Amino acid sequence: MTNNKKTILSGSTVTGDLTLGNYIGAINNWKQLQDQYECLYFLADLHALTVHQDPKILKERTYSFFAQYLALGLDPQKNIIFVQSQVHEHAELAWILTCLTPMGYLNRMTQFKEKSEKHVKNINAGLYTYPILMAADILLYQADLVPVGEDQKQHLELCRDLVGFFENRYGNGILKMPEPYIGKMGARIMSLQEPDKKMSKSDENEKNFVSIIDDPKKIEKKIKSATTDSDTVVQYDLTNKPGLANLLTIYSVLSGKTMKELEADYEGKMYGHLKVDLADLVVETLRPVQAKYSDLMKNKDHLNSLMAKGAERARAKASSTLKKVYDSVGLL
Ligand code: TRP
């Protein structure tokens, strides 16, 4: 029954904060995906180690992300949700793939170049081999589809190259060729201060995003100080009023109102009015999520047990792939 469903796999590095952009993507996609696909979601804590992490904060953030996924409505029965480091096969397959990866391919990775410029004091080999671990994440589960943003496309390409190399060398069809998943575009939520770029969870300027667990005061402040133009007419105009357009998009998604309705509601009113109302709407939308979140965070035993169950279900798949890989490369 579930066997003919395609597998979709999505990973999130455990850094930064989940944002309103993640919220909107989540509510738009998760429910629909879980019926159509076999869905795996994991928290990439091993990937997080490629930059300096305070061990305590990393642990806390891993719980926090996991709890936020659940609070946002991701169903741990219908989906497999797990923590990367709790499935040891990831690191193991990564090693096998490392031995198949030409250095030249890694040298081309633009994210490595960017990150090593940003973290000049910590250009570690993990930063360099990061895309190989990502390939292992994907290939262990025979994923058909991987939703990837622009910044991860090159990494998925490398993963596809590795499937080719493996096949050339060992030729037994063990690894499945993954494809990028281009979701039915939900709304694209942009940065609050720089509306020409995406709202990102790892943005250094926290004024650029609303975090799912920001308190109401902070949310209000961030939305009120969002960049808008100097005009006064509330009108959806992506080219000339990108900041306002972004606020209207958020408003429209959260309220279910069309742009036309919103424009009519705010005819003759100032941007300030809209910002106050939008801040309220965001606070009220996130309230139940935050309540559920803080309940979940109070009970780490419960979270640990859900994580363990997720890891166990993931491992059942991962170990079967790894066994075949070990055998075909000549490991006893
Ligand atoms: N590198 C991805 C990011 O930073 C996270 C990630 C790790 C991932 N492993 C993955 C995404 C496997 C998709 C598939 O966004």
* Burial (CB count within 10 angstroms: exposed 0-12, middle 13-18, buried 19+), residue 52: exposed
- Domain co-membership, 290 together with 304: no
| Distance of CA 55 from the midpoint of ligand 1 (Å) | 21
pLDDT digits (tens, 9 = 90+) for 80-121: 999 999 999 999 999 999 999 999 999 999 999 998 898 899
User: Is residue 267 included in any domain, yes or no?
Assistant: yes
Q: What is the mean pLDDT of residues 23-50?
A: 91
pLDDT > 80? residue 167: yes
Compute the distance from residue 259 Cα to the ligand 1 centre, in Å.
34
Distance CA 107, CA 298 (A): 44
**pLDDT in the model for residue 202:** 86
78 and 107 co-located in one domain? yes
What is the average per-residue pLDDT within 23-48?
91
How many domains are contained in the chain? 2
Average pLDDT of 45-62? 97
Please check whether residues 30 and 177 belong to one and the same domain.
yes
Looking at the structure, do residues 306 and 264 belong to the same domain, yes or no?
no
- Taking the C-alpha atoms of residue 103 and residue 136, their distance in angstroms, rounded to an integer, is 17
- What ligand 1 atom has the least distance to the C-alpha of 149? 15
212/25 Cα distance (integer angstroms)? 12
Ligand 1 nearest-atom number relative to CA 151: 15
For residues 239 and 121, membership in a common domain is answered with no
Q: How far is CA 123 from CA 119, 128, 130, 289, 318, in A?
A: 6, 8, 12, 38, 30
Asked whether residue 187 is domain-assigned, the answer is no
Q: Which value, in Å, is the radius of gyration of the alpha carbons in the chain? A: 21
- The residue whose C-alpha atom lies closest to atom 4 belonging to ligand 1 is 13
Query: Are 273 and 320 found together in one domain?
Result: no
- CA dihedral (302, 304, 307, 311) positive or negative: negative
Q: Which residues line ligand 1 (CB under 6 A)?
A: 9-13, 44, 47, 134, 137-138, 146, 152
Q: What is the mean pLDDT of residues 131-145?
A: 98
Q: Are residues 283 and 237 in the same domain?
A: yes
In a domain, 194, yes or no: no
Instruction: Please indicate, yes or no, if residue 22 is contained in any of the structural domains.
Output: yes
Q: How confident is the model at residue 229 (pLDDT cuts 50, 70, 90)?
A: very high
Q: Quick one: pLDDT at residue 3?
A: 64
Atom of ligand 1 nearest to the CA of 12: 5
Distance from the CA of 266 to the center of ligand 1, in angstroms?
40
Buried b / exposed e over 237-273, threshold 16 CB at 10 Å, is eeeebbbbbbbbbbbbbbeeeeeeebeeebeeeebee
Considering the domain architecture, whether residues 138 and 70 belong to the same structural domain is answered as yes
Task: Give the CB-side neighbour count of residue 132, counting CA atoms within 13 A.
Answer: 22
Residues spanned by the domain of 285 = 206-294
**What pLDDT does 1 receive?**
46
- Token pair for residue 110? 């633009």
Q: Is the pLDDT of residue 166 over 90?
A: yes
**Which residues form the catalytic set?**
115, 198, 201
**One domain for residues 287 and 306:** no
Q: How far is CA 308 from the centre of its chain?
A: 21
What's residue 43's pLDDT?
Answer: 98
Q: Does the pLDDT of residue 54 top 60, yes or no?
A: yes
